Amino acid sequence: MKQRLYQLTELDVARLEKHAEHNPRFQTMLDTLLERADIVQPDAIKANVVTMNSQITLLDEASQEQATWTIVYPDAANLELGRLNVFSPVGMALLGTQRGQLVKVLQPSGVEKLMKVAAIVFQPEANGEYTR
């Protein structure tokens, strides 16, 4: 049995499954994440965990550059506006991680980067928003 490394909310999982049901690639990505995740009620998620619609600041461990992103569903994704598709490799790698955690991210160029979740600027559940 794999160690549970991530926490996801029941509501996020239900919505992710809805988005993945007609897309085999999304379903495979989600299944891989769910194998290593604990599913909790939205009001039980820790404030230091990246959930859907969380705004986070990432730190590139090599260059020390920072970037702020919001993790969103595919229909709301817009890189120019800092809205990262959860079903991108980066989005899926970040969902369920905790502030301070290091994440390996495979870039489109094939280069792997080590990123740190430096801050969770906004998390809906921490603000009492359980349906966002």
In this predicted model, what pLDDT tens digit does every residue of 18-59 receive, in sequence order?
A: 999 999 999 999 999 999 999 999 999 999 999 999 999 999
Query: Is a pLDDT exceeding 80 seen at residue 12?
Result: yes
- Confirm whether 132 is domain-assigned: no
**What pTM, to 2 d.p., does this model score?**
0.91
- Confirm whether 12 is domain-assigned: yes
Asked if 18 contacts 30 with a C-beta cutoff of 8 angstroms, the reply is no
Asked if 62 contacts 113 with a C-beta cutoff of 8 angstroms, the reply is yes
What is the CATH classification number for the domain harbouring 67? 3.10.50.30
Asked if 101 contacts 109 with a C-beta cutoff of 8 angstroms, the reply is no
Asked if 42 contacts 130 with a C-beta cutoff of 8 angstroms, the reply is yes
- Confirm whether 73 is domain-assigned: yes
- Confirm whether 34 is domain-assigned: yes
Strands 66-72 and 83-85: parallel
The structural domain count of the chain equals 1
